[in-house]
Chains A and B, each alone.
Chain A
C-alpha cells in the first residue's frame, strides 16, 4: 500500500516549457487535490477533483490544467511555465470532500528559470 505517490520528485524547467506532474493513489479515494507551497504562504489549493472525469478550480488555478481520466490518477499540467510557478507541489487524496483527513504525497520541487 503505497498511499499517494508523486512523479517526478524534482524538476527544473525553463520559462515557456511545459510539463505534467503525476499523482497516483491506491486507496480508492474519490477526491484528489493539487496544492502548492510557497514560503510565507502555506499550502494553497490549485485544482481538485471529486471523481473520475471531473475537476474544479481551487484558490490559485491560473496557469495550470488538470485531468482525472482514471480514479487513481490526477495530473497537473503547466502549459507554459513561468518563474512564478517555482514552488513545491503536493498532491493529496481523501475519501470524501468532507473527510477531515487528506493523505498527502511527498511533494514535487519545481524550479522555473
Chain B
C-alpha cells in the first residue's frame, strides 16, 4: 500500500525564520506524482506544487522551495523567511490508482505550521 508520512505534527517558528516540512513516501510504482497543499484556517485546500517521479530537480517559487530525493523517498518543503500568513496545515500527497481505476491522492497527516510575529 502507498503511504505518506509527515512526521512533524506541529511546528512553531518566529517570523523570518526558515522552516522545512518533511515528507517521506512509500510506493511500488515507478511512475507517480507528489503534491503539496496548504490548508489555511479557512479550510480550503490550496495547491502548491506537483512533481512527477522522473523529475528530481529542485524547485523554487519565491520563498518556497522543494527538495525531491528519490533515493530517500523524500519530498521536503522549505519556506524561507517565514511570515505569519504562512500559518496553515500543509499536506504532502502521493498519487495512486483508486478502486475506480483513476488517479487519487493519498495524503499525509499534515503538519501544522504556526508562524509567530
Say if A and B assemble together.
Answer: no
